[in-house]
Structure 1
Amino acid sequence: MELIADIFLVAGALGAGFYCFVLSRRLKRFNDLEKGVGGAVAVLSSQVDGLTKTLAAARVASDGANATLSGLTTRAEAVAGRLELLMASMHDIVDDETALNAGPVDEAGSEPGGSVFMRHGPNGSPS
C-alpha cells in the first residue's frame, strides 16, 4: 500500500512539474516584448511618456499666450476708455468751415443729404 501511495505521489509531482513547465513557456510568450502583451504595454508606456511631455509643452505655451492676451486686453481697455473720452470731448465741436457754408437749415430737414432727426433743447423746443 505504501508503494502505491509513493507512486501516486511521484506521478502527482511529475504532473505538477510538467504543468509548471507549460505555464512557464506560456508566460514567456505572453510577456515577449516583440509580439506579446509585454510589447503592447511597452509601446503604450512610451506613448504615455510622449503625450505627457507634449501636454506639458502645450500647458506652458497656453500659459504664455494667456499672459500675452491679458496684457493686450488691458491695453485695449485703456485705449477704448481714451477713445470714449475723445469722442465725448469732440461731441459738441462743430467744424468751422461746415458751419459757415451750411447756412440756415430748414427745420423739416428738406436739405438733400441732411439729417432727418432734429435736436431738441432742454424745454423740448428745437434748438
Structure 2
Amino acid sequence: MDLIADILLVAGALGAGIYCFVLSRRLSRFNDLEKGVGGAVAVLSAQVDDLTRTLESAQATASTSTDSLGGLTDRAENVARRLELLVASMHDLPESGAAAAEQREDVSPEKAPPAGPVFRRHAATGATG
C-alpha cells in the first residue's frame, strides 16, 4: 500500500512539474516583446507618445491662430468705427444733382436736369454729306 501511495505521489509531482514547464513556456511567449502582448503594449505606448506630441503641436498652432485672429478682429473693429464716423460725416455734406436742384426754390422741377443718364448724339466727324 505504501508503494502504491509513493508511486502516485511521484506521478502527481511529475505531472505538476510538466504542467509548470508548459505554463512557463506559454507565459514567456505571451510576454514576448516581438509577437506577444508585450509587443502590442510597446507599440501602443509608442503611438500614445506620438499622439501626445501631435496634440501639443496642434494646441500650439491653435493658440497662435487664436492670437492672430484676435488681432485681426481688433483691426476690423477699428476700421468699422472709422467707417461709421465717415458715414456719419457724410450727412454734413451738401447734396448734389437733381435732389439739390429740387430743394432750391428758384429752379422749377421742369428745368432741373434729369436724374438718370443722358444720351446725346454727336455729329460724326470727317463724314461728308
Shifted more, 31-40 versus 49-58: the winner is 31-40
Give the Cα–Cα distance (whole angstroms) in 1 for the partners of residues 10 and 78 of structure 2.
93
Aligned residue pairs total 109
- Residue 30, structure 1, aligned to residue 33, structure 2: no
Aligned pairs for 1:1-127 (under 5 A) are 1-94=1-94, 98-99=96-97, 103-104=101-102, 106=109, 111=114, 113=116
TM-score, normalised with respect to structure 1 = 0.71
1:72 and 1:50 mapped to 2: Cα distance?
33
Q: Matches of 1:20 and 1:76 in 2, distance apart? A: 76
Percent of residue pairs bearing the same amino acid type: 65
1: CA distance, partners of 2:115 / 2:93: 23
The letter of the residue matching 1:74 is D
| Alpha-carbon shift at residue 4 of structure 1 (Å) | 2.0
RMSD: 2.7
- Unpaired runs of at least 5, structure 1: 115-127
TM-score between both structures, scaled by the size of structure 2: 0.70
Task: Output one character per residue of 1:43-95: Cα deviation in whole Å (capped at 9) or x when no partner.
Answer: 11101101101101111111121122112212211221111111111134137
Local SS of the residue matching 1:38: helix
Which amino acid counterpart does residue 114 of structure 2 have in structure 1?
Answer: E
Structure with the bigger RCO (C-alpha within 8 Å, sep 6+) is 2
Match of 2:43, SS state, is helix
- Extract unaligned runs of 5+ from structure 2: 103-107, 118-129
